[in-house]
């Protein structure tokens, strides 16, 4: 119920409460939009579809580690205008402590082979294609 002052207007206390309620709704709305904008790039990966399966992974001789704290990032077959090109492996520094490289890989679907880009991750899911290689 809206209270009116003797002069015919809304009481100042009621008006302040209504303005605070509107401000709170706006903060929640803008906060939700901001959270969505931040979360979408984190989960969005580009998926490329190619009809033929990728060639077998190449064995690469790793050059010496350039220094402490580097991790070997395996080479992979990358898409290039509907074909595969070999992207050689390289030594990289993880972007944060405990990071591991989740290698790019392909999965077969009804419309062809979809590439899933490699990325640094917080948790090792144990799905490495080269677990049989001894380091």
The pLDDT tens digits for 74-85 are: 999 988 888 889
130 within some domain: no
Task: Give the model's pLDDT for residue 119.
Answer: 92
What integer pLDDT is reported at residue 2 of this predicted model?
56
Q: Check whether residue 35 and residue 101 sit in a common domain.
A: no
Q: For 12-49, b where at least 16 C-beta lie within 10 A, e where not — what string? A: eeeeeeeeeeeeeeeeeeeeeeeeeeeeeeeeeeeeee
Domain housing 74: 47-121
pLDDT value of residue 67: 95
108 in any annotated domain: yes
Judgement on whether residues 79 and 111 belong to the same structural domain of the protein:
yes
Q: Is residue 129 part of a domain?
A: no
Q: What confidence score (pLDDT) does residue 79 get?
A: 86
| 19 and 76 part of one domain | no
Q: Are residues 72 and 28 in the same domain?
A: no
8 A C-beta contact, residue 16 and residue 24? no
Domain presence at residue 14? yes
Instruction: Give the chain's domain count.
Output: 2
Same domain for 8 and 38, yes or no, is: yes
- Give the residues of the chain that fall short of pLDDT 50: 34-44, 130-135
d(CA 50, CA 64): 34
Q: Are residues 55 and 34 in the same domain?
A: no
């Amino acid at each position: 119920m809206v209270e009116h002052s003797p002069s015919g207007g809304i009481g100042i206390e009621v008006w302040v409460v209504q303005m605070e309620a509107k401000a709170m709704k706006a903060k929640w709305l803008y906060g939700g939009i901001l959270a969505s904008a931040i979360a979408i790039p984190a989960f969005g990966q580009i998926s490329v579809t190619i009809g033929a399966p990728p060639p077998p992974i190449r064995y690469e001789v790793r050059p010496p580690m350039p220094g402490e704290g580097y991790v070997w990032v395996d080479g992979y077959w990358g898409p290039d205008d509907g074909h595969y090109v070999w992207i050689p492996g390289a030594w990289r520094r993880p972007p944060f402590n405990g990071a591991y490289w989740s290698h790019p890989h392909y999965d077969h679907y009804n419309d062809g082979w979809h590439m899933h880009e490699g990325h640094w991750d917080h948790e090792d899911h144990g799905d490495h294609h080269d677990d049989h290689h001894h380091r």
